[in-house]
Structures are given as structure tokens and as C-alpha cells.
């Protein structure tokens, strides 16, 4: 979408710098349950017969409940439409499922033709990819002990304040026109310029790698 502040459409691209992994806090009361969840994520067969739970469940939901294979060779699948909804599986998913990175699929389709994954791919290529920009490689950067000290001592508090004010601006508790200058002055007083300097220096080093 464009706005009064920018006439260029933007869509955040995939974060290729994300360091994937799992961790369990030593104080967690659900270590067993978390391990069971990870077992499901990497399982290639049902972890318990009749549940439909294995790796693919993380993407499509339980097999036999939200989706099913269309042939014995398991080369294609279709979604199971709840009773009372007169739609084919693909159309049902496109209309009612909201994807975290792209929104509703039907907003990207370039034709009403049903059941054609290529159409959705073309829609994504035409309507999403041209507006993508690379995410900031924050997880990929490293900091000196002094830089980390600045981040730890200042940014956590600043981040909390920014989130609180964002909520107040959105809900109308604070007025953007009358309270914005005070908001900016506050985060400057909290040390945002010191934090930005640290991030800029770390980013400059990262760019030289």
C-alpha cells in the first residue's frame, strides 16, 4: 500500500539471515511437551496412529482432518472443506486462511481459475515480489562488549517505550499531531542516538565482510 508518506509500495522479503533453531528455558515446566512438539515437527510418519500428526501437520494441519492425499502415490493433496461450506478445497483456503507473510491468497490471484497452483505463483510473482525489499540483517551482526553494553542499558527501555506509545497513538490516547515532538524528544533523552550509532557502526563492519 502507498500512503501520504510514501508513494512506493513495499513488502518485506524473506529474512534470509534468520538463524533457525530451538531452545528450551531451564525453568520451563513443559520440557516434555516441547520435546514432543519437536518430535512431531521432524516426524515423517504419524507419531500416534489416527492423529494425523507428523511434520506436514505444521504446514497443513493434521492429515485426514484439514487435508488429505488425492492419490496412493501421495503426489498431490487437497484441503478438506468443513461441512456447510460449498467450495472446493483450494478456494476455501484462499478465502478463509490468512497467511502471515502474504495475507489472503485470493488477493494475489490473477484469475478466478480454481485449483491451479501456477496461477497463485504467477500472482505472487506479479503482485508481491516487485515490492519486496531486503530485511535488515540484525541477527547477522556482532557487537563489541562496549557496544553491547549500550544496547543492553538503553535499547530495552527504549523499545518498551516505543511499543507503548505506538499503541497509544493507534488507539487515540495520544495525538500524533500534538504529542509527536514530545515522543521524539523522550526517546532522544533515553539515548536512541547512541543506540543508532552502535547499530550503524556494526552495520558498516558487516558490509565490509
Which tops the pLDDT comparison, 63 or 135? 63
Question: CB-based burial of residue 202 (10 Å sphere; 0-12 exposed, 13-18 middle, 19+ buried)?
Answer: buried
Structure confidence at residue 108 (pLDDT): 45
Query: Among 67-71, 120-124, 157-161, which is the least confidently predicted range?
Result: 120-124
Residues near 208 by Cβ (< 8 Å), separated by ≥ 6? Answer: none
Task: Check whether 5 has a pLDDT greater than 60.
Answer: yes
- What is the number of alpha carbons within 13 Å of residue 42 lying toward its C-beta? 7
Beta carbons within 10 angstroms of residue 203's beta carbon: 15
Cell numbers for 45, please give them.
510418519
Task: Check whether 119 has a pLDDT greater than 70.
Answer: no
Q: Are strands 98-99 and 103-104 parallel, antiparallel or unpaired?
A: antiparallel
Beta carbons within 10 angstroms of residue 134's beta carbon: 11
Q: What percent of the chain has pLDDT over 90?
A: 29
DSSP state of 70: S
Which tops the pLDDT comparison, 144 or 21? 144
Task: Check whether 56 has a pLDDT greater than 90.
Answer: no
Packing angle of the helix pair 176-189, 156-171 (nearest 10 deg): 180
Q: What average pLDDT does the segment 191-209 reach?
A: 91
pLDDT in tens, 7-42: 776 655 555 444 457 788 888 999 999 998 888 888
Short-list 5, 1, 19, CA closest to 142:
19
Amino acid at each position: 500500500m502507498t500512503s501520504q508518506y510514501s508513494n512506493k509500495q513495499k513488502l518485506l522479503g524473506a529474512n534470509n539471515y534468520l538463524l533457525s533453531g530451538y531452545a528450551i528455558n531451564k525453568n520451563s515446566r513443559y520440557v516434555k511437551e516441547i520435546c514432543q512438539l519437536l518430535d512431531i515437527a521432524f516426524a515423517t510418519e504419524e507419531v500416534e496412529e489416527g492423529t494425523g500428526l507428523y511434520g506436514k501437520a505444521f504446514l497443513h494441519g493434521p492429515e485426514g482432518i484439514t487435508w488429505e492425499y488425492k492419490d496412493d502415490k501421495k503426489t498431490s493433496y487437497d484441503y478438506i472443506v468443513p461441512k456447510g461450506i460449498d467450495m472446493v478445497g483450494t478456494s476455501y483456503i484462499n478465502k478463509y486462511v490468512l497467511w502471515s507473510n502474504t495475507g489472503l491468497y485470493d488477493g494475489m490471484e490473477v484469475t478466478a481459475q480454481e485449483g491451479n497452483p501456477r496461477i497463485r505463483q504467477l500472482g505472487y510473482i506479479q503482485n508481491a515480489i516487485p515490492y519486496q525489499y531486503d530485511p535488515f540483517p540484525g541477527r547477522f551482526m556482532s557487537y563489541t562488549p562496549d557496544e553491547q553494553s549500550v544496547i543492553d542499558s538503553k535499547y530495552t527501555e527504549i523499545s518498551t517505550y516505543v511499543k507503548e506509545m505506538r499503541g497509544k497513538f493507534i488507539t487515540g490516547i495520544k495525538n500524533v499531531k500534538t504529542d509527536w515532538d514530545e515522543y521524539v524528544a523522550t526517546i532522544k533523552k533515553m539515548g536512541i542516538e547512541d543506540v543508532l550509532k552502535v547499530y550503524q557502526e556494526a552495520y558498516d563492519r558487516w558490509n565490509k565482510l
